[in-house]
Structure 1
Amino acid sequence: MTTAAIQRALTPTEKIYADVEMYVGYTVRTVGPLDPDALRAAYAAVCRAHPQLAARLEADDGGLVFVASGVPPEVQICAGDPGHPLTGVELDEYRMLSALNVVRDGAEASVTLLTHHSIADAHHSIELLAALWACYTDVVRGVPVDLPRRPYPRSLEDLLAERGIHRAASGAGDAAPLRTVTELPASARVPMVRHVVQHRLTAAETKALAELGHREGVTLNGLLSGAVLLVEAEVRGLPVAELLFRYTVNLRNRLDPPVGPTEGTNVVGGGLFKAADDVGPGAVALGRALGERLRAGLADGSIQRSLLDMVTQPAPHAKARPSGPAPAVVSVSNWGVVPPLRSPDGLLLANFHSSSRRKVAPGEFAAIGGYVATTFDGRIGVDLAWPEGDAELPERLGLLREGLGRLTSRS
């Protein structure tokens, strides 16, 4: 066993991401001069303040544990296409659970903060990203940086338990469709980067979509989800009612008391939605039905418990699953609004999008695809994240552009 300081053991809702070595990237596209030394100083300051960034995994007799790494993570910089923001990055969960990767091409660059999903979800990581850019700006301007030290983030299990929320009784519900990891051993998996193509609305289109949602009583998330369901039904040649829609919910402000942005590792729930046959065919009707299902899931606690239920194996007496093909699953994660990011004079932060890398079985490559929605600088962006070269990606992108265009023109 290591002599490094043990932070704590991984809980089941954290270990599922270690099983597939999942790193999620938060990529900022920049135009203008970047100061590598200032980036290193800023990243080091954020890592000191948030020890999860400078942790690594280690195997213990009782399972996996987070331990303090003896070597701080380094900024990795290479020349290349900023449209491929993970170029050159080296990731190893037994060495470091975060990374900062820069890909430069002249005045343009991508700057990506990568966090292992076992230490932080998107809302947690975006808070760290904002701290990183604030520190970078201060370092460039010669302002001293000294962030307050935070404790290691707590697990979802602990945060829910102290609020009286526990998993459902054994055998209750059907958590299996939410499972996102393979049961294969690590030796059978290979790294896979999801290439992102983004459809970004203009500020005017974003405003028009929000106004449509307000008039129709549908959230922006509902409208985007409805549009995605229509795209996937067209691409897959299936009725919308045959698609199983999977989405995530930030629980921080839905718990009592609320949870701070970096207080927990993965403070999220997951929901499933399948459109009934009587739901109208448009994105507005689908979004409204999805919103009703979400509110019902929050009211009965199933959304709050969902990750706890997901990682619980069915009891031996649980009802066997029906045989047959797996359901057609559509996955959307809405990361919400990215807060304003500070930058020094002369450096433009032009855009934001997701990136990711995980290990999969070779046969899973074609099936690993999904959508990520964010709002940055007043503009909605929808990331289509699929393995590079996916044959259906251009069709998906075109259909999404057309569908959202029809919605924004309705104002």
Structure 2
Amino acid sequence: MNNPERLRQTLMKPFRSRRLSIQSLEGRRLLAAVNVPDDLTSAPDAIVSVPVNIDSATGVRAAEIRLSYDTSVLDLDADDIDFGSVWGTGNDTQVTANVDDAAGTVVIFVSASSELTDVSGSLVELPFSVASDAVLDSTTVLDLTLVTLNEGQISVDPAPVSGSDSTDGLITITAAATGDDSISGFVYADANNDNAVGTGEAIPGVTITLTNTSTGAELQTTTDSDGSYEFTDLAPGEYEIVQSQPVAYLDSGVNELTVTLVEGTTLDDQNFRELGLLPQYIFNRLHTSSVLPVGSDTWKDAITDINAFAESTASASSASSVAAGSSVVAASTSSSSGTESTTPATSDSTASGEPLVDEASTSPIASTASSVAAAQTAAMGSPVGSSDDDSDETAAVDEVFASNLF
């Protein structure tokens, strides 16, 4: 039975309306998915680059990442960890990493001064070294245990946890990959001191030795007519590149390079820079119209002949350089910009750059130097500055030295 009094009281209650609220974009809690790929592969005794990927980096300016791995299969150096692709050039991006190799844990902090836009890619890159005894066709897990974005202001979904979950990565151990990785560079005489391979500066015929420091395997090649060398079909790993110092050139002091080759990459510009031809190897034939212009095929042929001659007389040339060390200099010459580039000199030289030899020297080593000079004259023509120069060659000589080549 209806109660009239209760109905009256209900109708008399004040009506309360709900207001719609609008939340600002900045106040919304953003979401991002972060994970490690589960389709990574690597050979034993190789390096595999492991990315920690994010699907959208909108608003991200800092991240804390924690990960664990199997130390019996993988090894990691904290100094090798780098920021990932989402940070662009990363001019002000900072990475701090701590690796406990005994426990197999990694803690990484990466940050920048400004927030990222809506880009996807890797937050960090971790180059793991795979053990040489890793079993083929086996797998090893990369357990992503924690990811915090902007100190928790951006949620990660799904959130990584310790143990198996969908954010974890997986590396499958496969046979050594070949055919994709390569190392290349140039050997050149940087007489104009611009740290670039210029016209006529290439050094052909130089022996380059590549050693895989993990396996000890060696490969050798020689530079081409343009001064270039290349090693292909390489497996990832640590390599040492050694140049056999070309006898005819002033030594820049750097004849060894150590590089890390990551799977699927190409290392270019692994260059060796020398300081120019030693003056005793600057023969008149380099200043004749039959060889010029600098950098032509005939020029390259002449340089190849000089290099071969220098190598064939290496022992005598070494003895010669001891007695006539003050003669092994290059003259100060003007560059195209009008500034001067000077190779340190310990004796006088003529305006065209030819050395002045002390004719009063009568030591046995000086006699050896004289015999080498005689052999040079017979095989290659006279060195620059000899008495058989004539005025017709002046323009050609000026072209070589004005170009700051040697």
TM above 0.5, one fold? no
TM-score by length of 2: 0.22
TM-score by length of 1: 0.22
Kindly indicate whether structure 1 or structure 2 has the higher relative contact order, using CA contacts under 8 Å at least 6 residues apart.
Answer: 1
Structure number, greater radius of gyration: 2
